[in-house]
């Protein structure tokens, strides 16, 4: 049977979930969840629980690249768009696996943000676009089933790029980073920020909270989506007042809290 570019008559779903771009740019609040556990089942649980997006954590998580691809498959199958938090040298590979976007830690300047945009965008005719290497044999292009200029344009239009600000220097430049064309959101990492400010993990300390507020307001002022870790409804409400609308919690935090409650509730009344 000869090869053909004609789609299958049943019109299989594109492996790339492009819904996140419109959600990020809609102005509506989003609730996401970081997951560093190498478990497709956890990904499905996050989707069925009703989170708006998943952040596969390849900065601090234990998934290798093969498992990352399986996590992305689980996300697509359960209809939750997935970012991958990864280091800069992994951008091309996780996008080829079909991530809806990337969230890059420790972005500290507009210059660095512009370089990230170049890594995420394919080149276009007329010298437009970026410098992302092109291959249509990848999962993101359906192993060739969805390759070609349409895939290139779809990726450039719909892949989400989130920059993380996690140091005092980055907070001062948060507005400049957000203003870079191609940056869709700027996410404040409060734990790293607190450590960088000399407060260890105490991001609820007043100086750290003031820095978070400054960053969120600066990003919101540029018309971009401002994000932050928010582990309680009270934190989420406070950050929303400062311009935040992309809020994220963490799978391990929720699981450990539930396990601790199950292990300790009513224990004082038990006799052995």
In the predicted structure, residue 154 carries a pLDDT above the cut 70:
yes
Stretch 246-270: mean pLDDT: 91
Instruction: Decide if pLDDT at 142 tops 70.
Output: yes
Determine which one of 60, 89, 151, 199 is catalytic.
Answer: 60
Among 230, 226, 243, smallest CA distance to 163 is for 226
pLDDT over threshold 90, residue 6:
no
pLDDT over 60 (residue 2): no
Can 199 be counted among the known catalytic residues? no
What pLDDT does residue 180 have?
A: 98
Confidence of residue 9 (pLDDT cuts 50, 70, 90): low
Taking the domain 19-252, which CATH number applies?
Answer: 3.20.20.60
Mean pLDDT of 206-224: 98
Q: What is the mean pLDDT of residues 174-189?
A: 98
| pLDDT grade for 172, boundaries at 50, 70 and 90 | very high
256 contacts: CB under 8 Å, gap ≥ 6: none
- Work out the average pLDDT over 111-140: 95
pLDDT digit string, tens, across residues 61-120: 999 999 999 999 999 999 999 999 999 999 999 999 999 999 999 999 999 999 999 999
Could you tell me the residue ranges of all domains in the chain? 19-252
Q: What is the mean pLDDT of the chain?
A: 94
Burial environment of residue 41 by CB neighbours within 10 A (0 to 12, 13 to 18, 19 or more): exposed
Provide the b/e sequence for 173-202 (b: ≥16 CB within 10 Å): bbbebbbbebbbbbbbbbebbbbbbebeee
């Amino acid at each position: 049977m000869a090869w053909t570019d004609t789609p299958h008559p049943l019109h299989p779903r594109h492996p790339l979930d492009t819904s996140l771009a419109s959600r990020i740019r809609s102005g509506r609040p989003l609730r996401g969840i970081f997951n560093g556990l190498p478990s497709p089942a956890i990904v499905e649980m996050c989707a069925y629980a009703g989170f708006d997006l998943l952040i596969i954590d390849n900065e601090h998580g234990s998934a290798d690249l093969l498992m990352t691809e399986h996590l992305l498959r689980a996300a697509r199958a359960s209809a939750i768009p997935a970012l991958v938090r990864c280091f800069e040298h992994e951008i091309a590979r996780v996008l080829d696996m079909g991530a809806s976007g990337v969230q890059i830690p420790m972005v500290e300047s507009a210059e660095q943000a512009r370089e990230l945009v170049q890594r995420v965008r394919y080149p276009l005719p007329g010298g437009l676009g970026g410098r992302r290497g092109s291959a249509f044999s990848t999962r993101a292009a359906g192993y060739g089933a969805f390759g070609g200029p349409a895939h290139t344009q779809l990726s450039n239009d719909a892949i989400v790029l989130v920059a993380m600000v996690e140091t005092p220097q980055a907070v001062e430049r948060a507005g400049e980073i957000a203003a870079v064309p191609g940056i869709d959101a700027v996410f404040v990492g409060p734990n790293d920020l607190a450590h960088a400010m000399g407060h260890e993990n105490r991001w609820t300390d007043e100086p750290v909270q003031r820095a978070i507020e400054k960053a969120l307001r600066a990003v919101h002022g540029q018309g971009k989506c401002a994000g932050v870790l928010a582990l309680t409804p009270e934190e989420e409400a406070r950050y929303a007042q400062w311009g935040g609308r992309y809020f994220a919690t963490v799978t391990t935090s929720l699981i450990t809290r539930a396990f601790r409650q199950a292990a300790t509730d009513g224990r004082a009344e038990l006799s052995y």
